[in-house]
Structure 1
Amino acid sequence: MENWLMYALLAAVLLFFFFMYLMLRRTFQGFKEGLQQSKKK
């Protein structure tokens, strides 16, 4: 009966890592764009 709890926990962890990956990628892209813009100036 505890099986669904394990699956729910696993899904929550996967969603958390996916969200962290998206946030890190977005901030990293913004950081790279900022560097390129500062080089153009």
Structure 2
Amino acid sequence: MLELIPDDPVIIAIVLILLALIFFSYLLLRRTVLEFREGMRGK
């Protein structure tokens, strides 16, 4: 498993940034959908 991780710090940084972007966009989409549902209920 450890052999799959590249030694190049640039590649590691790019992968970490991509994972962070995916994670934050997921949280943003989930919050937006939940607020949209609350608004549709006529709260």
**TM-score class, shorter:** 0.7 to 0.9
Question: TM-score, normalised on structure 1?
Answer: 0.78
**Runs of 4+ off more than 6 Å:** none
Aligned counterpart, 1:5: 10
Structure 1 residues 1-41: aligned runs within 5 Å:
3-37=8-42
Backbone CA RMSD of aligned residues: 1.5
- Tell me, what secondary structure is at the counterpart of 1:37? coil
Q: How many residues align?
A: 37
Of Structure 1 and Structure 2, the greater helix share is in: 1
What are the Cα deviations for residues 6-40 of structure 1, in whole angstroms up to 9, with x where unaligned?
000000000001111011000000000111126xx
